[in-house]
Amino acid sequence: MAQVQLHRHTAPLKLDGAMTHMDLGGIITQLEGDKWIRNHNVFQLQLLGEFAVKEKNRKANWHLEFINVYEGWYQRLSRGRGRIHLLHLVAKHEDVLTNYEAYVWEKVDRPLDWEKVDRPLDWKRMDLPLELRSLSPMVLDEDPSA
């Protein structure tokens, strides 16, 4: 059985509100709140994670297999631009499980009814008001005993 590698964030995770702006493909928008809000909707988190992995596979010709999202947060974007979701997820590539950090933009112009989304997601038929902003592996932790 493959083991999950221990990782830390590629950049400091700013749940204290220090991150105030988000680049949405050339549109710089301000985060509405001053804190990231923990998302407890497990169904929504798993769909967002599955979407993130499938989009990365499609756009970058990666071959990841989505396993699960183990934690997630969101913040509302200013000017009615929706919400940005921050996910920590596990995906597998060639029997190696790795932690990833993903940012998914949920666009407000077409709010998503999460209960009506068909699973499993089929990227050939996906017409979701979502956009993957980033998916990257988390960096290995240094050995604290060294």
Task: For residue range 41-66, list pLDDT tens digits in order.
Answer: 898 899 999 999 999 999 999 999 99
Q: What is the pLDDT of residue 32?
A: 66
Residue 114 in this model has a pLDDT that exceeds 50: yes
Side-chain-facing half-sphere of 79: CA atoms under 13 Å: 7
Residue 84 near residue 32 (C-beta atoms within 8 A): no
- Give the global pTM: 0.70
User: Minimal CA–CA distance to 66: which of 28, 102, 93, 103?
Assistant: 93
Tokens read off for 131: 């956009």
Distance CA 64, CA 62 (A): 6
- Checking if the pLDDT of 11 tops 50, the result is no
Tokens read off for 128: 């979701």
Domains and CATH numbers, the chain: 22-140 (3.10.450.10)
More confident residue, 140 or 60: 60
